[in-house]
Amino acid sequence: MTTMTQPARRRYRPPRQLGGGGRSSGFRFGRGRGPMAMAFMLPALVILGAFVFWPMISALRLSFTHSSGFGPTTWVGLDNYREILHDPKILKTLGVTGLYTVMFTPTAIVLALALALLLTNKALLGRGAFRTALFLPFVISMAVAAFAWSYLLDPQLGLLNYWLREIGIQLGNVLQDPHLALPAVVVVAVWKSFGFYMVIFIAGLQQVPEELHDAARIDGANAWQRLTRITLPQLSTTFAFVVVFATIAALQAFDQIYVMTGGGPYRHTQTVVAEIYSQGFKKLDLGLATAISYVLLLITLVMSLIQFRFFGSREKDVVG
Amino acid sequence: MKKVMLPVAIAVSAALALTACGGSGDGGSASQSGEPKHVNLSFWHGYTEADGKVLDQIVDDFNKSQDEITITDTTKTWAEIGDTLLTSLSADQGPDIVALPAENLPIYASKGAFQDLGDFYAEDSTQSASLNEQAVSMEKVDGTYYGVPLGFVPLSVIYNKKLFAEAGVDTFPTTWDEWLDAAKKLTIDKNGDGKPEQYGLALPDHATVGNGVWASLFYGGGGGLIDESGQSVIDSDANVQTLTTWANAVIDDHISPTGIDGVKSDNLFSAGKAAMEVGGPWMAGVAKDNGIDYGIAGIPAGPAGAAASAIGISAGVTVQADETEKAAAEKFFQYFFSKDVATKWSLGSGWPPLRTDIPASDVSSNPVVQSLTEIAGTARPLLPGVADSVDVLAAVDEATQKALAGGDPASLLKTASDQASEALSQ
């Protein structure tokens, strides 16, 4: 006969709040712990202040000036923002960025999710090897990937064109074709980044309780129903993260465009960040460049808030 | 324990903050004693190949030639200089002297990055150096000199002698008609699919070498980009005729692929898939590395004669330098333009001499330099003094790229001219 020793019952006490907040909720310092916490937070705050908040405030101030970073700085009020609204070239970069985001985000997410579902299927052999292979493009730098793809797509010297020509397909000069250049850089960006989103989806899929699928199977749900009624709703938090992350990445597209097309042909791939670079570093107009940066920040913020709100309400529906 | 921890935490925080915020400090360029001040100058340039070693040697020789000034030169790529000059100068951590592509000088000068070098050009030694006037004109912005030329070379044609011999072209063409004929003979489409395996000419239609290929053709055709009063003449009849001639040769006779830039053009020539290209002097080394038996010649004369846009490199003294440092930089420039050093730099860099009193025979030990020196008189600076060259060149690029893709040259050049005029008026 085995005897079990019952531990002495103790009343549950929730863990004390960081910073010595005590019983009440909210951020409050008490009994001398506050200064200590502040002291330990100080390095991080100093670094954040020096390298994030101060540059942001400086940039905001700069956006109301005509400035090159050296020489005289002239206060121009909202002139730079007015120029953004009235310059068709800058407005076109907003359109190009929007189109890039619309093409990139769904493509990368759907591809990543499809491969994540495939690679979490236990019937598939060599899942680890596939996952590694598909994640690898994310590890290399975008500039290297862009250079490699530029050579592959070269109409005269590129391997891809050579292979396709052998089977009778003429791809042409896609990177200088006004209709194909943007889709081409989107394809490269998707190839480069979908592995990262796939890994996040895989992590999310592994959190979905197997019991839910088992119960659904017993109730007669088929694979599609299990995907749409169990897997996808359970992935809503992961989805929110990936959608917001991919959207922000798309809005910031620059390096592959800088390397592959330089914004061409005739500005058909000139994104907002490429325009910021051009205004800041080619034309030395830091005031206008930072004003465009703030417009992009505002757009990113609004889109992220909309997405969080949308996914937040979806999550409530699922939980409810 | 808490009493000990709090000061420790504050001390660590303070140390970290000081480490993060503390600048490295320049340490000053002059000694504090009563002795004549020793001046230290920093000098950025983008000569990364053998030319960079020659420039290092010239700087070293200058440092040894006197004991008042020490110049420390740093080699970066031209692109890196373009990306870091703005930030380094705004942080007061930039160079005292910087070399950069000549078409970038006006924008930096107009924003106040460079100092007026009028006093340098007024010096007797500078005036007697008989510097190439076209090269010096690159340094003038709104009537003020902001730099000195470090390099000035006309674009030229590099050609593959083996492919010429195979096509039965014995001599290099000297006129556009001969050039077009040669390009057609050298274009080979073995399977007749309209995609030649070998092109007679690699003619970039955008982002050309030194942005000067189309400027060269426009000059040769009797046109140009801007006139002497700074107005756009991009849509002139001569330019329309020039663009039509070359677009037809590309579209109808397939003498060149379309949609290529200067880098792709170099690649095609290096791979032996193009018999000719318009390029810079460095292509001689590239051709040699790729085992190509090459020749270099001036751009054949158009209806208005022989002309070529030049690739220029300028050096300016930044606003970071004080009066003493500026005077020291000017002393270095005087040394740099002395006849012996100018000859040495020409031979080492592979670019023609900047002094007009150094004849081609003085640089005959380098046949490429000799060839380029012989055609140096045809060179014209690209958009001298134009601050917004980025928009002007982008407008021209759009017109040439669309024209070679089948667009109407006249309307495209009209649009480009309007865009350029708008940029020039700002």
Q: Could you tell me if A295 and A265 lie in one domain?
A: yes
Residue A42 lies in a domain: yes
Q: Could you tell me if A61 and A161 lie in one domain?
A: no
Q: Could you tell me if A56 and A202 lie in one domain?
A: no
Nearest Cα to B21, choosing from A52, A44, A47? A47
The number of domains in chain B is 2
Q: Could you tell me if B148 and B243 lie in one domain?
A: no
Which residues have CB under 8 Å from A171's CB, separation 6+? A153, A155, A160, A161, A164
What residue has token string 């189109």?
A99
Q: With 0-12 CB in 10 A as exposed, 13-18 as middle and 19+ as buried, what is B87?
A: middle
Nearest Cα to B176, choosing from B103, B248, B79, B81? B248
Q: Could you tell me if B53 and B198 lie in one domain?
A: no
Residue A240 lies in a domain: yes
- Chain B closest-CA separation from residue A247 CA (Å): 27
Here the tokens at position B51 are: 């030319």
pLDDT for B190-203, tens place per residue? 887 778 999 999 99
Q: Could you tell me if A38 and A106 lie in one domain?
A: no
Q: Could you tell me if B284 and B193 lie in one domain?
A: yes
Domain end (from A75, A106, A135): A75
Question: To the nearest whole number, what is the mean pLDDT of chain B?
Answer: 89
Q: Could you tell me if B106 and B214 lie in one domain?
A: no
Q: Could you tell me if A112 and A223 lie in one domain?
A: yes
Cα–Cα distance between B185 and A314 in angstroms, integer?
68
Q: Could you tell me if A41 and A165 lie in one domain?
A: no
- How long, in residues, is chain B? 426
Residue B295 lies in a domain: yes
| pLDDT value of residue A28 | 53
Cα–Cα distance between B329 and B322 in angstroms, integer?
10
Q: Could you tell me if B320 and B276 lie in one domain?
A: no
Q: Could you tell me if A117 and A63 lie in one domain?
A: no
Cα–Cα distance between B103 and B108 in angstroms, integer?
10
Nearest CB partner across the interface for B2, out of A32, A40, A177: A32
- Please report which helix (H) or strand (E) contains residue B379, including its range: strand B379-380
Q: Scan residues 249-288 of B and list those with Cβ closer than 8 Å to A.
A: 257-261, 264, 267-268, 271, 273
pLDDT for B209-242, tens place per residue? 889 999 999 999 999 999 988 899 999 999 999 9
Q: With 0-12 CB in 10 A as exposed, 13-18 as middle and 19+ as buried, what is A201?
A: buried
Residue B338 lies in a domain: yes
A188-205: average pLDDT: 95
Residue B18 lies in a domain: no
What's at A37, amino acid-wise?
A
B10 to chain A: which residues are within 8 Å by CB? 39, 42
Q: Could you tell me if A125 and A249 lie in one domain?
A: yes
- Chain A closest-CA separation from residue B412 CA (Å): 12
What pTM was computed for the model? 0.81
**Among B2, B5, B13, B268, the residue to mutate for chain A (most A Cβ within 10 A):** B13
CA distances from A226 to A124, A162, A216, B75, B386 (A): 19, 44, 7, 62, 66
Does residue A11 surpass a pLDDT of 70?
A: no
Peptide bond connecting B367 to the previous residue in cis, omega within 30 degrees of 0: no
Q: Could you tell me if B305 and B316 lie in one domain?
A: no
- A89, A96 in Cβ contact below 8 A? no
Does residue B27 surpass a pLDDT of 60?
A: no
Q: Could you tell me if B394 and B375 lie in one domain?
A: no
CATH number at residue B369: 3.40.190.10
A284 to chain B: which residues are within 8 Å by CB? 86, 107-108, 111
The boundaries of the domain holding residue B244 are: 156-310+384-425
Q: What is the DSSP string of B29-55?
A: SS-SSSSPPPEEEEEEE---SHHHHHH
Q: Could you tell me if B193 and B219 lie in one domain?
A: yes
Which chain A residue shows the shortest CA-CA distance from B13? A43
B113 to chain A: which residues are within 8 Å by CB? 68, 70-71
Question: Other C-beta atoms within 10 Å of B280: how many?
Answer: 23
Q: What is the DSSP string of A176-194?
A: G-TTTHHHHHHHHHHHHHH
What residue has token string 């690029």?
B397
Question: To the nearest whole number, what is the mean pLDDT of chain A?
Answer: 86
Q: Could you tell me if B209 and B278 lie in one domain?
A: yes
Q: Could you tell me if B244 and B369 lie in one domain?
A: no
Residue B17 lies in a domain: no
ipTM score above 0.90: no
What's at B163, amino acid-wise?
L
Q: Could you tell me if B264 and B339 lie in one domain?
A: no
Residue A139 lies in a domain: yes
Q: Could you tell me if A53 and A198 lie in one domain?
A: no
B12 to chain A: which residues are within 8 Å by CB? 43
The number of domains in chain A is 2
| pLDDT value of residue A4 | 45
Does residue B337 surpass a pLDDT of 50?
A: yes
- How long, in residues, is chain A? 320
pLDDT for B118-172, tens place per residue? 999 998 887 777 899 999 999 999 999 999 999 999 999 999 999 999 999 999 9
Here the tokens at position B330 are: 């000017």
- Chain B closest-CA separation from residue A35 CA (Å): 8
More confident residue, A11 or B381: B381
Question: Other C-beta atoms within 10 Å of B138: how many?
Answer: 27
Least confident of A31-40, A98-107, B324-333: A31-40
Q: Is the Cβ of B16 closer than 8 Å to some Cβ of chain A? A: yes
Q: Count contacts between A and B (CB, < 8 Å).
A: 109
Domain end (from A48, A75, A102): A75
CA distances from A281 to A2, A290, B86, B232, B315 (A): 78, 12, 7, 25, 18
- Chain A closest-CA separation from residue B241 CA (Å): 22
- Please report which helix (H) or strand (E) contains residue B408, including its range: none
Q: Could you tell me if A152 and A278 lie in one domain?
A: yes
Q: Could you tell me if A233 and A281 lie in one domain?
A: yes
Cα–Cα distance between B395 and B381 in angstroms, integer?
18
Q: Could you tell me if A43 and A111 lie in one domain?
A: no
| pLDDT value of residue A154 | 87
The boundaries of the domain holding residue A55 are: 33-75
8 Å CB contact of B13 and A46: yes
Residue B21 lies in a domain: no
What's at B341, amino acid-wise?
V
Domain end (from A75, A98, A127): A75
What residue has token string 């005036």?
B127
| pLDDT value of residue B313 | 95
DSSP 8-state class, residue B234 = T
Q: Could you tell me if B277 and B318 lie in one domain?
A: no
CATH number at residue A216: 1.10.3720.10
Least confident of B37-51, B166-180, B326-340: B37-51
Does residue B29 surpass a pLDDT of 80?
A: no
Nearest Cα to A297, choosing from A245, A242, A248, A246? A248
- B249, B16 in Cβ contact below 8 A? no
Q: What are phi and psi of A262, to 5 degrees?
A: 65, 20
